Chain A
């Protein structure tokens, strides 16, 4: 099981979406797919056609910068972070 941590801008968009969730997935992309199955539309909030991560969405796996094809291991921590900007 990987442990996902989601940005605070996502839960208001999807009913009962938690900030922290555990799920089985082999890659970052697969983890996002699992989320999209349960909360339809969530993939579009993180990815654009390609698929690619949106320009201001950053993913770290075990503190290392990751992409959609980054592999996840049992116990991986995945941080999905919206770019720190705006005002």
Chain B
């Protein structure tokens, strides 16, 4: 019987929630990583290792790793630094484990890689020469909580091809392992002046359909968008949703037209509208949307979910999971039709990922 493990990154450490394939009863372990703020925790299905991106206000940035599902942890920042006098590394914002290595997105914006299971790291790219590159590390352009380069989306078949998201500037694709890049923001919308139409877009979450390598979705600061050509062009699919803003998104594991988002009010509050919690789903690639709220609080629920806060497993009937910035974790074992709260008092949650273990 498979074990379902949720990796929950919080402001005060990493937690592991575990259940069986029924996904009804959950146990909670943690906090791990000595209570360091965790921005993103991921599981590498090939090695079985958990990696957790961390940044301590006192002791700097690093990546924790556990090879035994949380029983023991080690921290390394060896190689996680920019050359003296260049950029300054404040945090590791996002992690991706694929093709035998781990890629770490950082602030200031750059991608580091580890090929020895997180023991040592080396700088892979800072996207030099790309439009916007001279501006995006300028502190004057960085809002509080700036994440720099928060996400790397790997291509499942081609180790040299991946997409990097630069906060406030957009998506860049490489097909030669970071040597050269192409902006992939055509068709996106920005509600502010954009000097160079190639960049200046605020991509919050980028996902790929596991069953169609050309089908990408994104939750943008300005709307939800779909690409049918591997990110070369985008079409907006916001109509039918309560707001055009949100952070989190997830692609259905078996249906290329299935996509989930959590719309939020776009103002300072950035919570689910009207204090009523809901996840929204499309099953027709964004042509129509349906509200999924059975079991979620529908009164005085001012919940927010950050960009890595929504995950979906790949069981035959997929389970969905989201964690809030106020420490609740909600789970659905039926593709989002019904929900239950499986943890209520964790620290503020930055990320939720799910691993299905044989």
Q: Which residues of A contact B (CB under 8 A)?
A: 7, 9-10, 12-13, 41, 44-46, 48-50, 54, 56-57, 82-83, 85-86
Contact = CB atoms under 8 A, between A and B. Distances in A.
B58 A49 contact: no
Interface residues of B, number: 16
A56 B82 contact: no
Contacts of B83: 49
Interface of B: 34, 56-60, 62, 75-78, 81-84, 88
14 contacts: A12-B34, A13-B34, A13-B75, A41-B77, A44-B78, A46-B59, A49-B81, A49-B82, A54-B58, A54-B59, A56-B57, A57-B59, A83-B58, A86-B57
Contact of A41 (B57, B76, B82): B76
B57 A85 contact: yes
A50 B88 CA distance: 11
A7 B77 CA distance: 19
B34 A48 contact: no
A83 B56 CA distance: 12
B106 to A, nearest CB: 14
A48 B60 contact: yes
A49 B88 CA distance: 8
A17 B59 CA distance: 16
Given A12-B34, A13-B34, A13-B75, A45 B59 contact: yes
Contacts of B57: 56, 83, 85-86
B84 A50 contact: yes
Contacts of A45: 58-60
A82 B57 CA distance: 9
Most central of B57, B62, B78, B88 by chain A CB within 10 Å: B57
B84 A9 contact: no
Nearest to B75: A13
Contacts of B60: 44-45, 48, 54
Nearest to B76: A41
Contact of B58 (A41, A44, A50, A57): A57
A45 B59 CA distance: 4
Contacts of A83: 57-58
Contacts of A56: 57-58
A9 B59 contact: yes
The 8 A-B residue pairs with the shortest CB-CB distance in the complex, in nearest-first order: A45-B59, A82-B58, A49-B84, A12-B34, A44-B77, A56-B58, A56-B57, A49-B81
B179 to A, nearest CB: 25
Contacts of A57: 58-59
Contacts of B75: 13, 41
A56 B56 CA distance: 10
Contacts of A50: 84
